[in-house]
Structure 1
Amino acid sequence: MDFQGTLFAAEDTTLSFAGLQRRPLGRGAWIDVRRGWLPEADDAFATLVAAVPWRAERREMYERVVDVPRLLHTYGVGEALPHPVLDRARDALSAHYLPELGEPFVTAGCCYYRDGRDSVAWHGDRIGRGRSRDTMVAIVSVGDPRRLALRPRGGGESISVAMGHGDLLVMGGSCQRTWEHAVPKVAHAGPRISVQFRPLNVF
């Protein structure tokens, strides 16, 4: 692991949504971004690296089986997360978005991008209810900054959001059905972990 955390501890240890910025994407989709949202981000990152039972996956692609270029683990409904601040984050997100979402966030998918070669291709979380209904996926990023790219499904101009240490990005509305997102490969990057909070039966 080669990641240098913040030089100064953050004074604000609350999970505040003050300063949250919403960006409409079109077609009923939107994203919310809140910089530096997660307190204890350095400690959370170190704990995630050490405590999550990371697994490598292989997937059939273009008539051959290849390594998935990142490590993965999912915490299901009712499972305690590896750091208390992540349980607090899930509860805070559930409370804040309940009026729009109508249900809590209950699962947490974790992706470990070890360096710039690790990535995820264009996709939307369209297995389960995300295929037919508006929903939300809340992403908390810790570690080195990486770019999250988004583009309209079926073609159109893409946008990107640089996700830094402790940043929050929420994809909502029709985003999973009408837009796709990706984390592209880059020439140089240190380790980064994303935690994706989802409602029940959204994958």
Structure 2
Amino acid sequence: MFITLEGGDSVGKTTQAGMLEEWLTGEGREVVRTREPGGTPLGVEVRRLLLHGGDEIGAVDPRAEALLYAADRAQHIAKVVRPAIERGAVVVQDRYIDSSLAYQGAGRVLDVDEVRRISEWAVGGLWPDVTVLFDLAPEIAAARRSSRDDDRLEAERQEFHEAVRAAYHGLAVASPERFLVVDASGTPEEIHAIVRARVAERLAAR
């Protein structure tokens, strides 16, 4: 089973990924917890360059950014995700194609269909069984991360993050069978209970 966690920055994906991993492991399942970018050695370097490169690489062209994320995605699926799924593990992944559609598509104002085609080609058409979208107003998310340094995406203007959130909503409406939209303003325990119920339902149906 392939589960992806999506949403804006500082919505609690990391916390929920950890809670989901702990629950699934307790149920006796092998869990592979990973993220994009950064799930492979190549991904670590892509993450460093794109999010923290600073003056080292200068301004990144939106198309170059989209292609770098797709390159990382191709490596990650080939080396980490597909092997895990094939041996029966549950993959819990922080960000996937929907992030590119929301951030590089809507946020960077690239053609969303082109971004989708690039990503689908990179992964051989692999889509998640469940995508959990943690929804939170950008101003609340910004307040959560005010005590630490922002990366390139987090430091974008409010309008950028609002466009990303709207794009995520559109993706969820277009694929309701795959998406679970959760209000990320609740407590971690409340959110986990909602996510766990959906995942348990999908696992029981397999």
Higher helix fraction (1 or 2): 2
Tell me: higher relative CO, structure 1 or 2? Use CA pairs within 8 A at least 6 residues apart: 2
TM-score interval (norm. to shorter): under 0.3
TM-score for the superposition, normalised by structure 2: 0.26
TM-score for the superposition, normalised by structure 1: 0.26
